[in-house]
Amino acid sequence: MYNFVKLPNELFYGENSLYMMTNDYRTLLVLEYLYSNANKRNVIKFTIENMIVECGYKVDSHKGKSLEKFKLVLNILQDNDIIFCEKNISQFKLKDLIICTLKINLDTKFTILKDSEKDIILNQQIQNIDNRKLLYYYCYLKCRMYKRSKDDGDITIHGGKAETCFPSFKKINEDIGITDDTISKYNNLLVEMDLIRIGNTGHWFYKDEPKNIKEGVNIYTLFEGDEDTAKNNIKETIHWYKGLVINSNKIFTKNKRYKNNDRKINGYIGRIKCLEKLGKATPEQIDKMNRLKESNSDKTQYIYKIKALLESESDLSLSSIYLNLGKEEKSDYYGEIEAELEIFNHDTQEFLVDKEYYNWVISNYCDDYKEFYKNAVKKNKRESENSKYFENKCYELFG
């Protein structure tokens, strides 16, 4: 039994995309239903009532409700020769048996949606979020991803294009009608669900317009459990993207890297490794080292997830991002950290330190090293003030 479905790429983009024809996100669920219930000859036997229920909607035969909307989608698919039925589908009643043939070619130009991915998205209970619309957006990103063939080999060895995509917010809006705010919110959710990872090419400006700074595009890649692979996909694509001819007249700002700064933990691990090589480490020390390494690995993955959230919503604090996602406990937790470290003013919604430094602090913060981060922030503020003072003095003296 299959644990996935094939969806046609023409569902998501192009002037004659199925979304443009139907303007209805449930089109994805209708096609998934048809694909799942087709036999080897692509024949499907179903009732509209069963389709509505299986797609997760309530059966409602009132004007403008589910029965009418599902019929409209089916009619458009029939009119565009996606499905064939001897009788016009609008003539069928709720419980009538419909026999039709799925005619769309899914041998090429298709996107695979796994049952596990669908379940993760549709089973989330998030306030003010249309899960089906979120699923559509996720499939759109998958559809846009470049797919390496087996012959391409490991990208770290053979090079080539990484499995990523980088549609602009404007392009996404044109293709599937999702607004900028919704795109940002959905990006955060998909990162939180461990379905994607996001990087960014960084701010840029044209060589002859240094003051006209623009935001770079997001780089999207699927997350399949390996942070290093996702990170490498993004890194390779950013490098490739910046080298494109169309970007030859652009200057990209440098991106900061955020590192785990738990020196005490890393130092202990290093010492025990040396003792282990010399045969002097006790079983207790080796056990503790292994537990710390596992904890450190988990933290590294968590840091990368936080970083992805911050990069996808560059003008918001982490507490604000989690609040928008409906994660109130996490929002409160990080809100207290931001206030205690004095890195964000919740009354004025202003950052009290440089945003890149804020990102490093909030993504690496650990309660066990609270005093370290407090002192680090204070030192950063002093250095920033000294730098401003020096710059002002230079301006006064030399103009």
DSSP notation for 336-379:
HHHHHHT-EETTTTEESS-HHHHHHHHHH--GGGHHHHHHHHHH
Q: Same domain, yes or no, for 297 and 208? A: no
| Cα separations in angstroms, 70 against 63, 115, 182 | 12, 22, 25
Q: Same domain, yes or no, for 246 and 298? A: no
Q: Given this model, what pLDDT does residue 255 score?
A: 46
Q: Given this model, what pLDDT does residue 275 score?
A: 73
Residue 175 lies in a domain: yes
Q: Same domain, yes or no, for 288 and 370? A: yes
Identify which has the larger pLDDT, 362 or 156. 362
Among 66, 91, 112, which residue terminates a domain?
Answer: 112
Q: pLDDT at residue 136 above 80?
A: yes
Question: Using an 8 Å Cβ cutoff, are 260 and 364 in contact?
Answer: yes
Amino acid at 153: G
The Cβ-side half-sphere exposure at 245, using a 13 Å CA radius, reads 0
Q: Same domain, yes or no, for 279 and 237? A: no
Residue 24 lies in a domain: yes
Question: Using an 8 Å Cβ cutoff, are 80 and 89 in contact?
Answer: no
Percent of the chain with pLDDT over 70: 85
Q: Given this model, what pLDDT does residue 64 score?
A: 86
| Nearest Cα residue to 332 out of 314, 317, 342 | 317
Q: pLDDT at residue 362 above 80?
A: yes
Q: Same domain, yes or no, for 18 and 62? A: yes
Residue 133 lies in a domain: no
| Cα separations in angstroms, 313 against 17, 173, 218, 310, 340 | 29, 17, 11, 5, 22
Q: Given this model, what pLDDT does residue 1 score?
A: 52
Measured distance between the N- and C-terminal CA atoms of the chain, rounded to whole angstroms: 75
The maximal CA–CA distance of the chain, rounded, in angstroms, is 87
Mean per-residue pLDDT of the chain: 84
Q: Same domain, yes or no, for 87 and 42? A: yes
Q: Same domain, yes or no, for 98 and 170? A: no
Q: Same domain, yes or no, for 319 and 374? A: yes
pLDDT, mean of residues 123-129 = 83
Q: Which two tokens stand for residue 70?
A: 């599902």
Q: Given this model, what pLDDT does residue 79 score?
A: 92
pLDDT, mean of residues 4-30 = 89
Question: Using an 8 Å Cβ cutoff, are 8 and 106 in contact?
Answer: yes
Count the domains in the chain.
Answer: 3
Q: Which two tokens stand for residue 399?
A: 């103009």
Residues sharing a CB contact under 8 Å with residue 313, sequence separation 6 or more, in sequence order: 184, 187, 188, 320, 321, 324
| Nearest Cα residue to 302 out of 265, 258, 337, 343 | 258
Residues sharing a CB contact under 8 Å with residue 303, sequence separation 6 or more, in sequence order: 258, 260, 363, 364
Residue for token pair 């846009």: 144
* Residue range(s) defining the domain that contains residue 328: 263-394
Q: Given this model, what pLDDT does residue 58 score?
A: 93
Identify which has the larger pLDDT, 137 or 15. 137
Among 252, 286, 315, which residue terminates a domain?
Answer: 252
The mean-pLDDT minimum among 99-103, 132-136, 263-267, 282-286 falls in 263-267
CA–chain centroid gap for 245, Å, is 27
The Cβ-side half-sphere exposure at 317, using a 13 Å CA radius, reads 29
Q: Given this model, what pLDDT does residue 265 score?
A: 60
- Sequence-ordered alpha helix ranges (H) in 256-367: 263-277, 283-312, 318-324, 328-341, 355-364
What span, in angstroms and rounded, lies between the C-alpha atoms of 322 and 347? 17
Q: Given this model, what pLDDT does residue 271 score?
A: 66
Span 367-398, pLDDT tens digits: 767 887 888 898 888 877 766 555 554 555 44
The mean-pLDDT minimum among 259-268, 276-285, 366-375 falls in 259-268
The mean-pLDDT minimum among 10-24, 53-67, 240-254, 289-303 falls in 289-303
Q: Same domain, yes or no, for 246 and 271? A: no
Question: Using an 8 Å Cβ cutoff, are 193 and 121 in contact?
Answer: yes
Span 65-113, pLDDT tens digits: 999 999 999 999 999 899 999 999 989 999 999 999 999 888 888 999 9
Span 348-360, pLDDT tens digits: 999 999 898 899 8
Helix (H, G, I), strand (E, B) or coil at 388: helix
Amino acid at 135: L
Q: Same domain, yes or no, for 242 and 269? A: no
Residue 345 lies in a domain: yes
Q: Same domain, yes or no, for 318 and 248? A: no
Q: What phi-psi label fits residue 171: left (phi over 0), alpha (psi between -120 and 50 degrees) or beta?
A: alpha
Q: Given this model, what pLDDT does residue 166 score?
A: 94
Q: pLDDT at residue 182 above 60?
A: yes
Q: Same domain, yes or no, for 362 and 270? A: yes
CA–chain centroid gap for 79, Å, is 35
Span 25-77, pLDDT tens digits: 999 999 999 999 999 899 999 999 999 999 999 999 998 899 999 999 999 99
Residue 361 lies in a domain: yes
Residue 139 lies in a domain: no
Q: Given this model, what pLDDT does residue 350 score?
A: 92
Span 183-231, pLDDT tens digits: 988 998 999 899 999 999 888 888 888 778 888 899 999 999 889 899 9
What span, in angstroms and rounded, lies between the C-alpha atoms of 261 and 27? 48
Q: Which two tokens stand for residue 397?
A: 């003296």
Amino acid at 302: Y
Among 252, 279, 308, which residue terminates a domain?
Answer: 252
Q: Given this model, what pLDDT does residue 156 score?
A: 63
Instruction: Give the pLDDT band of residue 300 (cuts 50, 70, 90).
Output: low
The mean-pLDDT minimum among 168-172, 333-337, 372-376 falls in 372-376
Q: What phi-psi label fits residue 38: left (phi over 0), alpha (psi between -120 and 50 degrees) or beta?
A: beta
Percent of the chain with pLDDT over 90: 42
The reported pTM is 0.68
Residue 138 lies in a domain: no
Residue 122 lies in a domain: no
Instruction: Give the pLDDT band of residue 148 (cuts 50, 70, 90).
Output: confident
